[in-house]
Amino acid sequence: MNEDFPRARCELPELLLGYLRVAGCPHWPGADGLTVAEVLRCYPHNAATGRVPDLQELLHRHADLRDTLLAFFAGADRRSR
């Protein structure tokens, strides 16, 4: 496993929230009591609709976060079932 994995895990929420913010997503942490985790759960849906970069684009742009991105999207896929 990548020795930077703990650092990457800390950077991922900030990175994904930044893309959601730029896309103008309506839900935001703190609004109506939403947590960061709740807002991040909408990322895969927004990626599927083209509002934010999808997994392949994120892997291209942020290769250093590969393991963390794959884990995040795998978890999102399991949660959506």
Q: Which SS3 state, helix, strand or coil, does residue 75 take?
A: helix
Task: Count Cα atoms within 13 angstroms, Cβ side, for 46.
Answer: 20
Residue 33 DSSP class: G
- In tens, the pLDDT along 2-32 reads 445 456 667 899 999 999 999 998 888 888 8
- In tens, the pLDDT along 27-74 reads 888 888 889 999 999 999 999 999 999 999 999 999 999 999 999 999
> In whole angstroms, what separates CA 12 from the centre of its chain?
6
User: Do residues 46 and 79 touch, judged by C-beta distance below 8 A?
Assistant: no
> In whole angstroms, what separates CA 67 from the centre of its chain?
13
